[in-house]
Amino acid sequence: MDFLELAKKRCSTRAYTAQKVEDEKLARLLEAARVAPTGANSQAFRLLVIRSEEGLAKLAEAANFYNAPLAIVVCADVEQCWHRSFDGKCISDIDASIVSTHLVLEATELGLASLWICRFKADVLREQFHIPEGLEPVNLTVFGYPDGELKSPDRHAAERKPLSALVVNEHF
């Protein structure tokens, strides 16, 4: 699929059927995450995969994930990530978000629906899944088959700002 076509097709889905995500598709999602670029190639992230009934029940304590059958929590290794020497800025959220972008776009390519979720209780996630100190859950991404129609790829005409509101040439 052409990249823009894929990017326009990806949408947030908030209703899933009970159909599980196949192992082969999970493997492709994880590979897409693995090849994501990270600052200084630090690869300072870990992926927590949750798809057991027990795990999903625990996840429900931390977030509304719309009963998707597969969740991947993108955790940043805040100690291993690249820090900007001038001011010490840690880029772990940026790295984790590129990884998450790879995940949701690959999902679209695979015919899966997805949702990127930041509204979660990080402390509950940490406790329920024994996330070690030094790792920070940054993004919760969930996947499955949509229960109903996906949003239209044409929605961006109305749902996104026009370029004229976003782009400034040469100077503000």
Ligand X SMILES: Cc1cc2nc3c(=O)[nH]c(=O)nc-3n(C[C@H](O)[C@H](O)[C@H](O)COP(=O)(O)O)c2cc1C
Supply the minimum distance, in Å, between the C-beta of residue 85 and ligand X. Answer: 27
Q: Residue 133 is encoded by which pair of tokens?
A: 């100190």
CB-nearer residue toward ligand X: 59 or 86: 59
Q: Which stretch binds ligand X (CB under 6 A): 31-39, 78-86, 109-117, 124-132?
A: 109-117
> Is position 150 an interface residue for ligand X (rule: CB under 6 A)?
no
> Is position 117 an interface residue for ligand X (rule: CB under 6 A)?
yes
Q: Which of 1, 57, 60, 118 binds ligand X (CB under 6 A)?
A: 118
Q: Residue 94 is encoded by which pair of tokens?
A: 């940026």
> Is position 46 an interface residue for ligand X (rule: CB under 6 A)?
no
> Is position 12 an interface residue for ligand X (rule: CB under 6 A)?
yes
Q: CA-to-CA distance for 109 and 58, rounded, in angstroms?
A: 29
> Is position 130 an interface residue for ligand X (rule: CB under 6 A)?
no
How, if at all, do strands 70-77 and 113-117 pair? unpaired
Using CA atoms of 37, 38, 44, 46 in order, give the dihedral in degrees to the nearest 10: -40
Supply the minimum distance, in Å, between the C-beta of residue 115 and ligand X. Answer: 6
Supply the minimum distance, in Å, between the C-beta of residue 170 and ligand X. Answer: 29
> Is position 119 an interface residue for ligand X (rule: CB under 6 A)?
yes
How many residues interact with ligand X (rule CB under 6 A)? 8
CB-nearer residue toward ligand X: 22 or 37: 37
Q: Which residues contact 156 (CB under 8 A, 6 or more apart)?
A: 8
Gyration radius of the chain's alpha carbons: 17
How, if at all, do strands 45-50 and 113-117 pair? unpaired
Q: Which residue number places its CB atom closest to ligand X?
A: 119
Q: Which of 82, 116, 129, 145 binds ligand X (CB under 6 A)?
A: 116
Contact 113, 146 (CB under 8 A): yes
DSSP per-residue codes, 12-40: B---B-SPPPPHHHHHHHHHHHHT---GG
